[in-house]
Chain A
């Protein structure tokens, strides 16, 4: 199958190239350790902080709760570079936090390096962990709360009997999934890490290819990364249920616990911290970006055009793949793509293309292809249950009517799956729009995407123009998501 060869081909290319070139320097070992360490910290903080936040969401009703829960899903489609700009605006050298610290006479914090990488990863994954835990909370039968209330369980007993088992069930899986995500995250390390002390394996691959043009070393690093991510990925798959990516179903359950003033204050504080941690950086992007919009030049607009083309191409490709793969087996197959890092794939494709064409000329198609591959597990996650339901409901009717394949696809499959298709398409488009991965390996000045353009502007210390471009990117990503999702919802 095309998918398998597309995934394995580049990896074989990488392994072949790496064979015999076993030279791993001390710097590479350091990158290896740093990658593990930052992923451990990121996953740990995300899950630990998510526990009180998810509980607060689960047992409180307040105006704007629904909006806030929805926003918890937003970082998933938020371009990494946009969040990074926002985080720098808040935690950076001239950011809000440092301004406060200076006025009270404390030393400034530095957002670059390990802190920054972990901070950004928590920014992205705290909401994910929260959603996973929240869904588990909401799945607790209402009877159990009633029973707890009628037994008059105190807070500690309540925690022991109801909340702790839930945490023990969900937290390891959430930790594992986030750990894998952080292992293979590239854009965060690229923008906030760097330097010999904060280089991840992914970043080292990039540097080996881009700056040293040492393809052999890049290949060795890629194999290292592949092994790391595959092992972690398999573990994650075993311990997790991969919940929390889809549309969260929000259920209201009457609860009687946590009514003391202290508990209310505690929950309110956690909600406020989580909300401001997520919203203030986003607000900062908008505030800083609005004046920057005037500074956008022709290059940035061209990059935006490229990004749109890549996003739409990725979406079409991803959905076309999703059709035949919307089954249990297909989903497992595509899950491999979560663990395989885009950089490794990109490096493999680079090695494969090099004998035939100038790889740089293929930057945009390759980016589109890799993005489609990366979004596929999520698209399948959304599509598969619905596709199976359609099959279960109507396969016999289809047979007895002797419907042709085309008629089935056009009259039943597509119309019945319109909503999940729209949602999956929106997700893919937004992910592809905001991706800053392979493109960084391949790009030359003529073929950039908008996220890369933002990164370049940052690198050139044109922070205002970068913020403007980031705002444009944010707007385009959200608009794409909204349009697709809306298209799926519009009732025929």
Chain B
């Protein structure tokens, strides 16, 4: 469970405010116009952006002041989710050994299983640059699986993929999230993504991140700000 209590995040064009609870195991789409602060919201939850006010709790524990590396959060960015000079296996291994040490046979087994789960078995020794965009996305998701943290934040990591690949990725995200029992917040520009994948929608517009609304309800009676943006 993720609890945002009256938070205010500094943005270029004024603050972004949010005050709501995300129940555990929910998968939410974060929708809204460009520049409204969708990524800002995720950055604040992940600890990459300071807040003016408010507190963030995760499963009852306050994380407002925690540095990014101490938050129970894994995040995928738009790009640069893998170190280009390290092999896929080495990249994934870092999730289990952040000190970069040698993996135990157990851990190596885990890495291999995670790769199999995302359909990349046998790609251990490849460098990310030799993989397609979809494969890179899958490798990054395999690492999220290994990180096994209760909150997963996705900042449009699949924006550059074609429609078919994106559908495949969303399926994979669902699978990973269900397996971990994790809460997911995914930024997207595409209402279709939200319909396909999300239990609910967080609308970010006009300096406000609105509380999540069930997906069906949201699209049946879309809020004014959303209609303006979709046109």
Which of B22-30, B80-88, B181-189, B214-222 lies at the binding interface? B80-88
Would you give the shortest CB distance from B44 to chain A, in whole angstroms? Answer: 13
- CB of B202 within 8 A of chain A? no
Residues of A contacting B81 with CB < 8 Å? 397
Residues from 395 to 423 in A contacting B, C-beta threshold 8 Å? 396-404, 406-407, 410-412, 415-416
Residues of B contacting A492 with CB < 8 Å? 85
- CB of A29 within 8 A of chain B? no
State whether B77 touches A404 (Cβ < 8 A).
no
Residues of B contacting A394 with CB < 8 Å? 80, 83
- CB of A393 within 8 A of chain B? yes
- From B67, B95, B97, give the contact of A399 (CB < 8 A): B67
- CB of B69 within 8 A of chain A? yes
- CB of B47 within 8 A of chain A? yes
Would you give the shortest CB distance from A194 to chain B, in whole angstroms? Answer: 53
The CA of A335 and the CA of B45, in the complex, are separated in Å by 40
The CA of A400 and the CA of B90, in the complex, are separated in Å by 16
State whether B47 touches A404 (Cβ < 8 A).
no
Q: Which of A398, A400, A416, A492 gathers most chain B CB within 10 Å?
A: A400
Residues of A contacting B114 with CB < 8 Å? none
Residues of A contacting B47 with CB < 8 Å? 399
State whether B48 touches A407 (Cβ < 8 A).
no
- CB of B139 within 8 A of chain A? no
B80 closest partner in A (C-beta): A393
- From A396, A407, A415, A416, give the contact of B99 (CB < 8 A): A407
B143 closest partner in A (C-beta): A401
State whether B98 touches A400 (Cβ < 8 A).
no
Residues of B contacting A399 with CB < 8 Å? 47-48, 67-69
- From B70, B77, B97, give the contact of A397 (CB < 8 A): B77
Chain A facing B: main interface SS: helix
Chain B facing A: main interface SS: loop
Q: Which of B48, B100, B101 gathers most chain A CB within 10 Å?
A: B100
The CA of A410 and the CA of B101, in the complex, are separated in Å by 10
Residues of B contacting A411 with CB < 8 Å? 83, 86, 90, 94, 100
The CA of A412 and the CA of B95, in the complex, are separated in Å by 15
State whether A402 touches B85 (Cβ < 8 A).
no
Residues of B contacting A393 with CB < 8 Å? 80
A418 closest partner in B (C-beta): B85
State whether B69 touches A402 (Cβ < 8 A).
yes
- CB of B201 within 8 A of chain A? no
| A397 with B80, Cβ < 8 A, contacts A402-B69, A415-B85 known | yes
Residues of A contacting B101 with CB < 8 Å? 407
State whether B80 touches A403 (Cβ < 8 A).
no
Residues of A contacting B94 with CB < 8 Å? 401, 403, 407, 411
State whether B83 touches A400 (Cβ < 8 A).
no
The CA of A407 and the CA of B83, in the complex, are separated in Å by 13
Would you give the shortest CB distance from B108 to chain A, in whole angstroms? Answer: 17
Q: Which of A398, A399, A404 gathers most chain B CB within 10 Å?
A: A399
State whether A400 touches B75 (Cβ < 8 A).
yes
- CB of B46 within 8 A of chain A? yes
- CB of B74 within 8 A of chain A? yes
The interface bits of chain A over 369-409 (1 if a CB of B lies within 8 angstroms of the residue's CB, else 0) are: 00000000000000000000000011011111111101100
Residues of B contacting A407 with CB < 8 Å? 94, 97-101
Would you give the shortest CB distance from A404 to chain B, in whole angstroms? Answer: 4
Residues of A contacting B73 with CB < 8 Å? 400
User: How many cross-chain pairs have Cβ atoms below 8 Å apart between A and B?
Assistant: 59
Residues of B contacting A403 with CB < 8 Å? 69, 94, 98-100
Residues from 140 to 196 in B contacting A, C-beta threshold 8 Å? 147
A401 closest partner in B (C-beta): B94
A492 closest partner in B (C-beta): B85
The CA of A394 and the CA of B90, in the complex, are separated in Å by 15
State whether A400 touches B85 (Cβ < 8 A).
no
Q: Which of B47, B85, B90 gathers most chain A CB within 10 Å?
A: B85
Residues from 188 to 231 in B contacting A, C-beta threshold 8 Å? none
The CA of A399 and the CA of B73, in the complex, are separated in Å by 11
State whether A400 touches B80 (Cβ < 8 A).
no
The interface bits of chain B over 47-90 (1 if a CB of A lies within 8 angstroms of the residue's CB, else 0) are: 11000000000000000000111100111010011010110001
Would you give the shortest CB distance from A391 to chain B, in whole angstroms? Answer: 12
Residues of A contacting B74 with CB < 8 Å? 400
State whether A412 touches B83 (Cβ < 8 A).
yes
The CA of A400 and the CA of B144, in the complex, are separated in Å by 10
State whether B86 touches A404 (Cβ < 8 A).
no
The CA of A416 and the CA of B86, in the complex, are separated in Å by 10
The CA of A404 and the CA of B97, in the complex, are separated in Å by 9
The CA of A411 and the CA of B97, in the complex, are separated in Å by 12
Residues of A contacting B77 with CB < 8 Å? 396-397
B82 closest partner in A (C-beta): A397
State whether B46 touches A406 (Cβ < 8 A).
no
The CA of A415 and the CA of B83, in the complex, are separated in Å by 11
- From A396, A406, A412, A415, give the contact of B68 (CB < 8 A): A396
Residues from 338 to 358 in A contacting B, C-beta threshold 8 Å? none
The interface bits of chain B over 27-51 (1 if a CB of A lies within 8 angstroms of the residue's CB, else 0) are: 0000000000000000000111000
- From A404, A412, A415, A416, give the contact of B98 (CB < 8 A): A404
The CA of A400 and the CA of B77, in the complex, are separated in Å by 11
Residues from 48 to 97 in A contacting B, C-beta threshold 8 Å? none
Would you give the shortest CB distance from A420 to chain B, in whole angstroms? Answer: 14
The CA of A411 and the CA of B93, in the complex, are separated in Å by 12
B153 closest partner in A (C-beta): A400
Residues of A contacting B97 with CB < 8 Å? 407
Would you give the shortest CB distance from A94 to chain B, in whole angstroms? Answer: 56
The CA of A403 and the CA of B86, in the complex, are separated in Å by 14
The CA of A394 and the CA of B82, in the complex, are separated in Å by 9
The CA of A407 and the CA of B46, in the complex, are separated in Å by 21
The CA of A153 and the CA of B152, in the complex, are separated in Å by 61
Residues of B contacting A397 with CB < 8 Å? 77, 80-81, 83
Shortest 3 CB-CB contacts between residues of A and residues of B: A407-B100, A399-B68, A402-B98
Binding site for B on A (CB under 8 A): 393-394, 396-404, 406-407, 410-412, 415-416, 492
User: Could you pull out 27 A-B pairs where Cβ atoms are within 8 angstroms?
Assistant: A393-B80, A396-B75, A396-B77, A397-B80, A397-B81, A397-B83, A399-B47, A399-B48, A400-B46, A401-B69, A401-B94, A401-B95, A401-B98, A402-B70, A403-B69, A403-B94, A403-B98, A407-B98, A407-B99, A407-B100, A407-B101, A411-B90, A411-B94, A411-B100, A415-B86, A416-B85, A492-B85
Binding site for A on B (CB under 8 A): 46-48, 67-70, 73-75, 77, 80-81, 83, 85-86, 90, 94-95, 97-101, 147
